[in-house]
Structure 1
Amino acid sequence: MNSVIALIGSGSTALSFIHHYLQQLEAGAALPRTMYLFEKRAAFGSGAAYEADRASNLLNTKTEFITPFIDQPGDFWHWLQTQPALWRHQFPGYTLEADGYAPRPLFGMYLEDRLKALVKRAASLGLNVVQLHAEVLDIQQHGNRQVLNTDCNLRLVADYVFLTCGTLPAKRNNALAEHPHVLNTPYPVSTLPARIPAEAAVGILGARLSAIDAVIALIEQGHRGPITLHSRSGYFPSVRGTQGRIQPRYLSDEYLATLRASKGKLSLQELIALVQKEIMELEGTELRGDFHLPAPPASLENYLQDEIHAAAGPRAWQAALYATNPIIDQLWAALHEEDKQKFLDNYFSAFMAYRVSIPVENARKILRYLQSGQLRFCSGSFGRPQAMDGGLVLRMDGEQIVHHYDYLIQAMGSPRQVGHLESELLSRLLQRGVLQPHPLGGVKIEAHSYCAEGANGQTNPRFRVLGELTTGAFFFTSALDINARHAKRCVEQFATVFTPAAKDIEAAQA
């Protein structure tokens, strides 16, 4: 068999995919033995999320838990303990702690090293992993073959394509697309001092992880000018407590299957009640009153003081929310369609603030900056930035308030809507109907096989999608362990489909 598969993107999801692909080969699956691995960044393995940068960019999952290999818990922790020669010289100030939060670039080094090991293991199994430093700009299907066109004029043919491209940036604001004082992303944050003068007034659009990274990096690298965080929703991430992993009683496959068997689809209120029951079970208390959405903090300084104090101990509600990771796609599928949209419209910002927490170390830094007066927090929606009088202006919607800045940093993360992503490849595939936008985010796929659904409503068995682009189908696709689980399922499903077909072809050729 001479079939070829192509993976577009070599980050953590691709590593998970390759890991389970090799397991299928070891189990005797007759899978393609040539794999093209495309990566437009300098390094293979780390991806955008864990690229080389400052050590102040921290993971928000404890060191002992995080791994791209769901069947190898603690693999990152084991690597840190056994391979200090590979990383200690670049992170001399890092204290190795199982329940601490390691620098994201350190995790990126681990991923790069693990990819090298996977490529060697692949060679021993007869799989040729061809690593290509190139950006795929278009994919055209000719019969059963996929022709991939790259930015370096390289054209390659594959039989099967898997999009594993991870987090993609937002399209630049057209009015200020080329403005030298507008940064479309804060990363890498190590370069911010070279791009922004130390005395400049800086506005940061966004208030989640990337915005926090930008604030800390600026100030720790000597920025002296005022910095303002703008949060449209007014929410700010919670602070991670000391709790570990739990075995849920209600947020489990078994309980959800039983519930679905009796009720069918669930309402949003029923889903919220399920989470509440898990929290009450952990706390040993009874449910008191109806659920009310927590309001955004009136004072970020007071909020962080309370959060830091609460984070000194276990937080049952955080343990319950993190326990949803293994079944979050099933919870999403269980909701009525109208309730999915209702959740995104009314609850998503609060969910992300409480579900995606930050380490107490970074919370303390942000609190110090607020107390010093160098950092401000502004909540409320705002219009498009405008260039005016040599600077940049941000107007608050429905108000007379105008903020003046020398520089603006866009740090609002990756948009859910695929049409808002900066990607020539996706734009072309959407334009030709190879991919179809999902109304709830990302692109449409068949959830069991991960096959892309085109504009004609048909799924393409030779084109599969993983990671952030599946957010409409699976809701929460920004956690490493969730994407690792999907990669495993995708490989297993692909093997069940491909192996019988391969055997039939081989028999016919014989």
Structure 2
Amino acid sequence: MTDVVSRHADVVIIGGGLSGTLLAVQLLRQSHARRIVIIEPRPELGRGEAYSATELGHTLNGNAARMSVDPGNADDLTEWLTRFIDDGGWPQSAEQSLPVAELFPPRGIFGLYAQQRLAEARAAGARYGATAEHVRAQAIDLQTHAEQVEITLDNGQVWYGRQAVLATGMFPAARTALKAPGGLNAGAVDPWDVQAMRGLDRQARVLIIGSGLTMVDAVVSLDQAGHRGPITVISRHGLWPHVRRQPPSWPDFLAAADNVRSPRQLMAEVRKQCRQALQQGVDWQAPLDTVRVHIARLWSQASERQKRQFVRHVRPWWESHHHRSPPPSDALVQRLIREGRLTLQAASYQRADGTTLTIRRRGESTSVQLQGDALINSSGIEYDWRRVDKPLPRQLLARGLIRPGPLALGIEADVDGAVLDAQGLVAERLFAMGPPLRGMWWESTAVTDVAAQAKRLATTLLSRC
């Protein structure tokens, strides 16, 4: 066991999923001797919540050309995946009948890719005396001091770092404890737990709350578990995710559009560009795909009122059009819809009593009950840290070391990732990256966004050593 004296590091990264792993990779690539410690309860680094899936049917929702973890090489995943397939690592890839750059790899395989990049960075860092150690535990408390940050773990250890980074990743609503007894997660089946779904009757009527990409994963899980019964999806806005296609390139119309400065102006211009594309016989996804690189800038310069309007009125349509389903999963969804097994009801969820849901359908004033044999909570990600029933977020809020981000999306930080405390003061030694900064940049969860943040934050941390 590591003794107390040696429990000191230059950088302590809290969270060893993709965010924390990519930050460690960038730090290790710097030609400086440093000790990096990654606090992560899972047995493996690089997987986190998103890439721990082992079923081949749970794929990335972006093709390989869009998912590089190297900000300097957009083809990094494509090149790695080509070698992986050539070595016999994914024989099922032939079923997609696509060039490697256009393949949608399983998330479990993507986790292997992230792990290999970490292994390579560790080897490179060793030449300069840099190390990255995995401490398998959960951080449950944190305090900041003048010269260091103190992190308490659930195994009783206390670690000290000159700097600490909150790279906690996402908190799926399906795996976020709900305090109310009998709440939505009480007795619900995990959307990714194929083994648990094998215990259901094959003809069981399954109710799913939420119609986003987590719902798509749940439908894939049910299919792989051998389920053949009816599935009813409850969604407030009644929207399915669109399938991701491979559209041709489109001019970056926002690069010189100085007049587009608010979410409303953005949506108006996007609609205009999509109409123009359709008139030219071009897929509407082409102009939409040029928008991502501008989202952080547009979101950060929008007013609080404009952000609220976007979240309230535009977000559901933005999510269904922008966060699209991978083609293999969408093909399953469309087949089940055609067969009449998968149906969608536009309704708001009110409460759950076991597997009985009380809902109010859109346009109706009275509530009705739906009886199912099984329930799945696919309502997405819980970004409000005040609602996350985990020790570290609770302690950070209680100590006033963080404060909710804009619209209670994640936590607030400055442009360099230094967190703001309850009084709005910028921390000297505590930083955040990835999904916790959703409220700051809106799109702060995609692989390319996280990779770019990791590179910038590594430079910032180095400059403050």
Please report the TM-score for the alignment, with normalisation by the length of structure 2: 0.89
Question: Structure 2 vs 1, CA of residues 179 and 80 (structure 1 numbering), >3 Å: closer, same or farther?
Answer: closer
Alignment of 1:5-404 (within 5 A): 5-23=11-29, 25-26=30-31, 33-84=34-85, 88=89, 91-95=90-94, 97-170=100-173, 171-173=176-178, 174-176=180-182, 181-183=187-189, 185-187=190-192, 189-248=193-252, 250-252=253-255, 255=256, 258-259=258-259, 266-276=261-271, 278-279=273-274, 315=283, 317-387=284-354, 391-396=355-360, 398-404=365-371
Following superposition, the deviation at residue 353 of structure 1 comes to 0.3
Could you list the runs of 5+ residues in structure 1 that have no partner in the other structure?
261-265, 286-312, 499-510
Q: Where does residue 301 of structure 1 map in the other structure?
A: none
Q: Deviations over 1:151-195 (max 9, x none)?
A: 211211111111112111333332226976323x412x3323345
Question: Structure 2 vs 1, CA of residues 107 and 267 (structure 1 numbering), >3 Å: closer, same or farther?
Answer: closer
Greater Cα radius of gyration, structure 1 or 2: 1
Q: Deviations over 1:4-29 (max 9, x none)?
A: 11111122222332333234x23xxx
CA distance in 2, matches of 1:3, 1:150: 15
Instruction: Indicate conservation of the 8 Å contact 1:169/1:422, yes or no.
Output: no
CA distance in 1, matches of 2:87, 2:49: 21
Q: Deviations over 1:288-338 (max 9, x none)?
A: xxxxxxxxxxxxxxxxxxxxxxxxx952x3222222222211011122221
Which secondary structure does the structure 1 equivalent of 2:239 belong to? coil
Instruction: Indicate conservation of the 8 Å contact 2:171/2:383, yes or no.
Output: no
CA distance in 1, matches of 2:317, 2:294: 20
Question: Structure 2 vs 1, CA of residues 179 and 205 (structure 1 numbering), >3 Å: closer, same or farther?
Answer: closer
Following superposition, the deviation at residue 363 of structure 1 comes to 2.1
Equivalent in 407, 416, 420 of residue 374 of structure 2 = 407
CA distance in 1, matches of 2:186, 2:109: 31
Question: Structure 2 vs 1, CA of residues 487 and 178 (structure 1 numbering), >3 Å: closer, same or farther?
Answer: same
Question: Structure 2 vs 1, CA of residues 38 and 337 (structure 1 numbering), >3 Å: closer, same or farther?
Answer: same
What code does the residue aligned with 1:6 have? V
What code does the residue aligned with 1:196 have? L
Q: May I ask how many residue pairs the two structures share in their alignment?
A: 448
Alignment of 1:410-421 (within 5 A): 410-421=377-388
Question: Structure 2 vs 1, CA of residues 275 and 179 (structure 1 numbering), >3 Å: closer, same or farther?
Answer: closer
CA distance in 2, matches of 1:41, 1:241: 34
CA distance in 2, matches of 1:326, 1:364: 29
Instruction: Indicate conservation of the 8 Å contact 1:13/1:68, yes or no.
Output: no
Q: Deviations over 1:86-131 (max 9, x none)?
A: 762xx43222732121111111121122222222222222111111
CA distance in 2, matches of 1:196, 1:396: 27
What code does the residue aligned with 2:268 have? A
Question: Structure 2 vs 1, CA of residues 332 and 147 (structure 1 numbering), >3 Å: closer, same or farther?
Answer: same
CA distance in 1, matches of 2:135, 2:447: 24
Could you list the runs of 5+ residues in structure 2 that have no partner in the other structure?
1-7
What code does the residue aligned with 2:83 have? T
CA distance in 2, matches of 1:461, 1:245: 43
